Amino acid sequence: MPQYTPPLRDMQFVIHELFRVTEQLKDIPKHAEVDADTINAVLEEGGKFASEVVFPLNRTGDEQGCTLNKETHEVTTPAGFKEAYAKYVEGGWPALSCDPEYGGQGLPFVLNQCFYEMLNSANQAWTMYPGLSHGAYEALHAHGTPEQKKLFLPKLVSGVWTGTMCLTEPHCGTDLGLLRTKAEPQADGTYRITGNKIFISAGEHDMAENIIHLVLARLPDAPQGSKGISLFLVPKYKVKPDGSLGERNGIYCGGLEHKMGIHGNATAQLVLDGAVGTLVGEPNKGLPAMFVMMNAARLGVGNQSLGLTEVAYQNALAYAKERLQMRALSGPKAKDKPADPIIVHPDVRKMLLTAKAYAEGGRAVAIYCTMLLDKELYHPDEKVRKDSEEIVALLTPIVKAFLTDNGHIATNACMQVFGGHGYIQEWGMEQFVRDNRINMIYEGTNTVQSLDLLGRKVLGNNGATLKKFGKLVAQLVEEEGVNEKMAEFINPVAYLGDQLTKFTTEIGFKAFQNPDEVGGAAVDYLRVLGHLVFGYFWARMAQVALQQIEAGNTDPFYQAKLQTARFYFARLFPETATLMRTARSGVGVLLDTDAALA
């Protein structure tokens, strides 16, 4: 049976030692009083909830899945899901980082990030129910009318109601300009919405008394394409002016998707049959409003793979220490046993360290992004807000795509550690692989994220934002460039930073001549930049660890951090050389292939 221990020590290292978050929060008035004790206490209790309440439901939820009553269109979640959600609401967890004006606790996003990492490790399918509600809350908080905010936000903040995002249609996935769902204006200011949506995570369930759907649809006079899309708030049950529930709305579940993983989450086919909704934001400007939710979701999806990478690593490590197979090539290590534990074998260690390096590197990046979100929204200095917004925008596709690709690599490696036992259900490893696989697909496939990164975030502003991140790298290189003990961590980052400038310029020049060059290079480019980002944070983590060791700190945690950093730079970071070479091969070998693909 799988096991899970919240990685509180590493979270505290990243928050308190690497980023000194509480010092940075002092510059933000609303968070100035948040101290380390508060952060640690919340994380400890959050870890208990994740490991003791949610984690035990992961395997049974996968086995049972969700059940649709085709007559009533109601969905029943796996045993224990509803009760666990009630405890989640009772504990005040939905309100953690929400606005106090609507009943939230107003704590920093960093805390929510770490809590949700632990929930994702414990049970990604369950966590998606409350996770999507956060995105709905953010979209309404940013673009809702005063009436919508007053009526809906307190219920979302408390967790009494949950939320979804309804974008995809049977003929329309990423290309939202093709969507056909219609919204007809009514005399009372509401809209009647008709259409079909598919792949709606948590689209129907029995865990909350109401579900607030944020639906993309077209007004009768809307222009064609993505510029003619509006956003509507469509509740499962109509809501009366006093906040009480009215009659059932015309939106219902027509079917559940039968899918590879996340069986405990209801991925619904939703039918809108004259459902009553209200407009969110301005007519024909629904995408900017929905992108608030989508960007939150993209960061959340990266966090899902981070959670699965961590829990897969923990279980593979425990198994490798106990499983006896063969002897070490250099001679027996466990002479009192008939064979050595497989952790003595170099390739097993390579697989374990791959997962560990991607988990700890991903944690640093994810926490850094949420720290920037707090600055973007609440810092009193306008320049700090703007710079933070730009860096978050640059890093969002990396968090979504690089972390989920790494999660795929890591969960598969950890399953491999188990050999044949990893392939059967008993040990739980194959579920981590299956659950993670969707993370590379939804909220914009990783190819779409790569196109967004290279086409919009880098070439779209001539590399201005990339240069801002490059200054952070250059600052670290200048700070530690003469420190011989840091050379093995600094030199690779400095070299790649220099190479990336030339690499980006070269792709930009090719794209100017042939835009398809962006499509041919984008996926490789994202992984190169992803490694630069990881390399920067791994160098900073090594810097902190070395400083602690030199100061006489004998905690083995710091030696472990250095050893993992060495492995990352020696075995994973060099992938960038191959990626730049394949990207430079050009788009011709991909497009001049009509005979091969006939």
pLDDT above 80 for 175: no
Burial grade of 514 (CB within 10 A; 0-12, 13-18, 19 or more): middle
Q: What is the mean pLDDT of residues 185-202?
A: 97
Per-residue confidence (pLDDT) for residue 182, from 0 to 100: 97
547 C-beta neighbours (distance < 10 Å), count: 12
Q: Quote the CA–CA distance of 137 and 123 in Å, as a whole number.
A: 22
Nearest to 457 by CA among 467, 446, 443, 444: 467
Q: Which two tokens stand for residue 247?
A: 């009659």
pLDDT above 90 for 171: no
Does residue 177 or residue 25 have the better pLDDT?
25
Q: Quote the CA–CA distance of 37 and 295 in Å, as a whole number.
A: 30
Q: Which two tokens stand for residue 68?
A: 């649709």
**Element holding 76 (H helix, E strand):** strand 74-76
**Per-residue confidence band for 1, with pLDDT thresholds at 50, 70 and 90:** confident
Per-residue confidence (pLDDT) for residue 462, from 0 to 100: 93
Contact at 8 Å (CB) between 162 and 214?
Answer: no
pLDDT above 80 for 598: yes
Per-residue confidence (pLDDT) for residue 341, from 0 to 100: 98
Q: Which two tokens stand for residue 585?
A: 């091969």
Q: Quote the CA–CA distance of 296 and 140 in Å, as a whole number.
A: 13
Helix (H, G, I), strand (E, B) or coil at 274: strand
Cα 114 to the center of its chain, rounded Å: 12
| The one catalytic residue among 138, 360, 390, 443 | 443
Contact at 8 Å (CB) between 255 and 300?
Answer: no
Per-residue confidence (pLDDT) for residue 409, from 0 to 100: 98
pLDDT above 80 for 118: yes
Q: What is the mean pLDDT of residues 442-447?
A: 93
Q: Is 376 a catalytic residue?
A: no
- Asked whether the CA dihedral 420, 425, 119, 102 is positive or negative, the reply is positive
Contact at 8 Å (CB) between 306 and 362?
Answer: yes
Percentage of the chain exceeding pLDDT 90: 94
**Per-residue confidence band for 179, with pLDDT thresholds at 50, 70 and 90:** confident
| Strand pairing category for 230-235 and 267-280 | antiparallel
Helix (H, G, I), strand (E, B) or coil at 246: strand
Question: Which neighbouring-strand residues pair with 162?
Answer: 211
Q: Lowest-confidence range among 204-208, 225-229, 245-249, 518-522?
A: 225-229
Burial grade of 192 (CB within 10 A; 0-12, 13-18, 19 or more): middle
Helix (H, G, I), strand (E, B) or coil at 72: coil
189 C-beta neighbours (distance < 10 Å), count: 8
Q: What mean pLDDT value characterizes the chain?
A: 96
Nearest to 381 by CA among 97, 94, 24: 24
pLDDT above 80 for 291: no
Burial grade of 217 (CB within 10 A; 0-12, 13-18, 19 or more): buried
pLDDT above 90 for 23: yes
Per-residue confidence (pLDDT) for residue 287, from 0 to 100: 83
Does residue 139 or residue 309 have the better pLDDT?
309
Contact at 8 Å (CB) between 525 and 459?
Answer: no
Percentage of the chain exceeding pLDDT 70: 99
- Asked whether the CA dihedral 27, 30, 33, 39 is positive or negative, the reply is negative
Q: Lowest-confidence range among 287-291, 420-424, 454-458?
A: 287-291
Per-residue confidence (pLDDT) for residue 119, from 0 to 100: 98
| Strand pairing category for 161-166 and 182-185 | unpaired
Q: Quote the CA–CA distance of 392 and 145 in Å, as a whole number.
A: 26
Question: Which neighbouring-strand residues pair with 268?
Answer: 200, 256
Q: Which residues contact 288 (CB under 8 A, 6 or more apart)?
A: 143, 281
The model's pTM is: 0.97
Per mean pLDDT, which of 40-44, 135-139, 281-285 is the most reliable?
A: 40-44
Give strand ranges (E) for 141-299: 161-166, 182-185, 191-201, 210-217, 230-235, 237-239, 245-248, 251-256, 267-280
Would you say how long the chain is, in residues? Answer: 598
| pLDDT tens for each residue of 306-331 | 999 999 999 999 999 999 999 999 99
| pLDDT tens for each residue of 524-567 | 999 999 999 999 999 999 999 999 999 999 999 999 999 999 99
Q: Quote the CA–CA distance of 281 and 142 in Å, as a whole number.
A: 9
Q: How far apart are the first and last CA of the chain?
A: 48
